[in-house]
Structure 1
Amino acid sequence: MSQPIEVDLPHSLGKDEARRRIANNVHRLTDHIPGGAHVESGWTGDQLNLRIQALGDSIQSTIDVQETKVVVKVLLPGMLGMFSGVIAGALQKKGNVLLEDHTKG
């Protein structure tokens, strides 16, 4: 049985800027997943669909970009569902990495 997680990441960037930053940072997700991972992604409007393969499992996720928040939804398969609280906490704590601006420097 799968365990869903939903985390809101508030921002004040506006939808277009938040979407741009997420698009520029999605490749960095693998740096934050223990044990390495393979990430496939694709946009449908303002929603980024992700398939993450890590630790022998495939995890489906969406990132919905809204004007004042980003909604991250993750569907944890099987045994990973037991770690839903820990994973939700990590998403809340580190999720804003996706909204960082790395174009200036």
Structure 2
Amino acid sequence: MPQFEVSVPHGQSKQDAHERLKNFSEKVREHYSEMVKEVEQNWEGDTLHFGFKTMGVGIKGNLTVNDNDIHVRGDLPFTAMMFKGKIESTLRDEITRLLT
């Protein structure tokens, strides 16, 4: 299965970055409510396991807060391959917005 991957440097303490991203899934749901449905999140240490549906396609991934960056990786169904760039840029933009 293809994957998507995004890294965003955060320039703050790991704890501060983690705190700012605590409600990541809720913010995505708020900003993209017309496109994103069935949002799930589960924090396990510094890793957020998330999932959502967009245009009827299920997407799952992990967001990890590292010392210097936020790293997101997930599986992308073949039916969503044409949206890979949009998914990655949206994740990058949303993470950047939450970190500032």
TM-score by length of 1: 0.80
Aligned residues: 99
Whether contact under 8 Å (2:21, 2:95) holds in the other structure is no
The residue that corresponds to 2:60 in the other structure is 60
* Amino acid of the structure 2 residue aligned with 1:10: P
Does the residue aligned with 1:12 lie in a helix, a strand or coil?
coil
Q: Distance in 1 between matches of 2:67 and 2:2?
A: 27
2:7 matched to 1:13?
A: no
RMSD, aligned α-carbons: 1.8
Q: 1:10 to 1:45 in 2, by over 3 A?
A: same
Q: 1:25 to 1:60 in 2, by over 3 A?
A: closer
Q: Deviations over 1:3-59 (max 9, x none)?
A: 201111001111111111100343011244452322110011100000112211211
Structure 2 portions without partners, runs of 5+: none
* Amino acid of the structure 1 residue aligned with 2:95: G
CA shift for structure 1 position 86: 3.0
Q: Between Structure 1 and Structure 2, whose CA radius of gyration is higher?
A: 1
Q: Share of identical aligned residues, percent?
A: 28
* Amino acid of the structure 2 residue aligned with 1:24: N
Q: Deviations over 1:53-94 (max 9, x none)?
A: 221121111100011100011211121012212322333344
TM-score by length of 2: 0.83
Q: Runs of 4+ in structure 1 displaced over 3 angstroms?
A: 31-34
1:21-60 to 2 correspondences below 5 Å? 21-33=20-32, 35-60=35-60
Structure 1 portions without partners, runs of 5+: 101-105
